Amino acid sequence: MASQQILFSPAELAYLHRSLSLKPPIRPDGRAPTQFRPLTAETGILPGTNGSARVHFSDGTEAIVGVKAEIEKTIEAPRAEESKPESNEAASERTRGDWLELAVEIPGQRDDEASTVFLSEMLREALLADKEFAKKLFINRRFHWRLYLDVLLISPPLSYPLPLLSLTTHLALLATRLPRLKSEGDEDPMFDDDWEASTFLYPQEGTATNGSRPPITLLVVAIGDNVIFDPAKEELAVAETALAVSVAEVRRAQKAGDMEVDSKGRELSLLSIRTIDPPSRLTPPGVPHTSNTGSSAFAPTKLQKAGDQETEGVWKAPLGGTKFGVLDGIIQAVLEKGGVADEVLDGLEGVELS
C-alpha cells in the first residue's frame, strides 16, 4: 500500500475531503455512501479448474479466481496413536488450516511484497476463521483435499483491490465442485468419474444448506462523520480510517413453516477485522496562504508555528488513531440487518453457477 504513489495535490485532497465529509457525502462518482460499484460476474469460465469466477467492476478492474483441488495424504500427528478408537467426528476436528493454499497475484507487484501478502492473509484468515471450512476438505482419516485458490488481478490495480478479490473468491468457492466420493471409511478414496454427479463444496439451495457460506470482505472508510463503502482511489486517499471487515452468512436449519422469516434478512457472523493503513497519511500537506512566503500580497506578518494548527480548507494528513466510537460505527454499519452486506450477498446470489 505504501508503495503506491498518491498523485493528488493538497488542494485536490482538501476539496475531496470537504465534499466527502458533507452530510450526505458527495462522492466523486456520484454514488450513495453505501453503494457498490456496478459489476458484472460470471462463473465456470476456466474448464481446467474445480471452480472459477470472473468479476469485472465498472471502473475497469477485473479479477479471475481459479480453485483447484488435489488429494493429499494426511500426516498423522505423533500423538494420534494413543487414542486409537476415535470416532470419525473427533478425527474430523483434527483439520488443519494449511490445507488451503491461497496465492494473490497483482500485476506490477512482486508476489512476496508485504502488501500482497497482507491481502492474501486477509482473504485466507476470513475463510479459515470459522472452523467449518477445513472440515469440508476432510475425506477420511488418512486423506484430505488440498485446495489451491489462485487469485489473479488481470487489470492494473486502479483502486485498492480488496473488495474485488474478495467477491471473486466468494463466487469461485460457491461454484467449486468436488467429485463424489464412492469409497467408504478409511480406505483409499475412490471417486465417481461422472462430473455431473459431483457435489458442490458449499451445498446449493434445496438440499442441506445449513452451515456457513463463503465470506465476503468489505472495505469501509470513515471520512469525517461519514461511513463510506467500497471507496474508489480518490476516496481512499483522503480517508481517516480504513477497515476491512469480513462477514459470512450463517444458514440455520429451518423448518418448513418459517419461510418468511428467512426471506427478511440473513444471519451474518463477523469473521475478521483488519485496519488498513490509509494512504492519506502519506499525502503532502498544503501550505496556508497566510504563511506562504511566495505570495507577496499576504507576506507573513508574524512567525507561524511549525504547522501545528490546522487551517480551514488546507489539507493536512491525518494524525493519530481512530476513536473507538468511529470503529464501532463502521462495524455496526456492516453488520446492520438489511445493510450493505445483505445487498452484496443478494446480488451475488443472482449470479448463475455453472
Partner 1 sequence: MADRRRVNGPGGITVPPIYEAEDLPLPDRSRQPNGIRAQYLKTGVTPSASGSAYLEIEPQNGSVSKGMKLTCTVHGPRSLPRSAPFSPHMVLSTHVKFAPFATRQRRGYLRDSSERDLSTHLETALRGALIADRWPKSGVDVIVTIIEGDQARQVAVEQGIEEWDMMNVLGGCITVAAAALADAGIDCVDTVSGGVAALVPGKDGEEPVMVLDPVPSEHEEILAACCVAYLPSRDEITNLWLKGSLSSDANLQRMLIARAVHASKGSSQAVAASLTEAALAG
CB-CB contact of 6 with 237 (8 Å):
yes
Question: What is the C-alpha to C-alpha distance for residues 59 and 71, in angstroms, rounded to an integer?
Answer: 39
Nearer to partner 1, 45 or 273 (CB): 273
Nearer to partner 1, 162 or 175 (CB): 162
In the complex, the smallest distance separating the C-beta of residue 84 from partner 1, rounded to whole angstroms, is 14
**Positive or negative: CA dihedral 326, 248, 89, 175:** negative
In the complex, the smallest distance separating the C-beta of residue 307 from partner 1, rounded to whole angstroms, is 7
Name the H helices within 144-303. Answer: 162-174, 233-236, 259-264
Nearer to partner 1, 39 or 248 (CB): 248
Nearer to partner 1, 85 or 320 (CB): 320
Q: Rounded to the nearest 10 degrees, how much is the dihedral formed by the CA atoms of 69, 70, 71, 74?
A: -90
Question: What is the C-alpha to C-alpha distance for residues 61 and 164, in angstroms, rounded to an integer?
Answer: 8
Nearer to partner 1, 114 or 299 (CB): 114
Nearer to partner 1, 2 or 26 (CB): 2
Hey, how many other C-beta atoms are within 10 angstroms of the C-beta on 56? 19
Name which of 244, 228, 218, 213 is nearest 341 in CA terms. 218
In the complex, the smallest distance separating the C-beta of residue 129 from partner 1, rounded to whole angstroms, is 5
Question: What is the C-alpha to C-alpha distance for residues 249 and 99, in angstroms, rounded to an integer?
Answer: 22
Nearer to partner 1, 161 or 179 (CB): 161
In the complex, the smallest distance separating the C-beta of residue 68 from partner 1, rounded to whole angstroms, is 16
Residue 176's SS3 state is coil
Q: Rounded to the nearest 10 degrees, how much is the dihedral formed by the CA atoms of 126, 127, 128, 131?
A: 110
In the complex, the smallest distance separating the C-beta of residue 26 from partner 1, rounded to whole angstroms, is 27
> Where along the sequence are the contacts to partner 1 (CB under 8 A)?
2, 5, 77-79, 82, 96-98, 103, 110-112, 114-115, 117-118, 120-121, 125, 129-131, 243, 250, 267-277, 281-285, 306-307, 317, 319-324, 327-328, 331-332, 335
In the complex, the smallest distance separating the C-beta of residue 270 from partner 1, rounded to whole angstroms, is 5
Could you tell me whether strands 226-229 and 267-276 are parallel, antiparallel, or unpaired per DSSP bridges?
Answer: unpaired
Question: What is the C-alpha to C-alpha distance for residues 265 and 314, in angstroms, rounded to an integer?
Answer: 44
Question: What is the C-alpha to C-alpha distance for residues 250 and 198, in angstroms, rounded to an integer?
Answer: 23
In the complex, the smallest distance separating the C-beta of residue 332 from partner 1, rounded to whole angstroms, is 7
Nearer to partner 1, 42 or 125 (CB): 125
In the complex, the smallest distance separating the C-beta of residue 263 from partner 1, rounded to whole angstroms, is 17
Distance in angstroms between the alpha carbons of the first and the last residue of the chain: 35
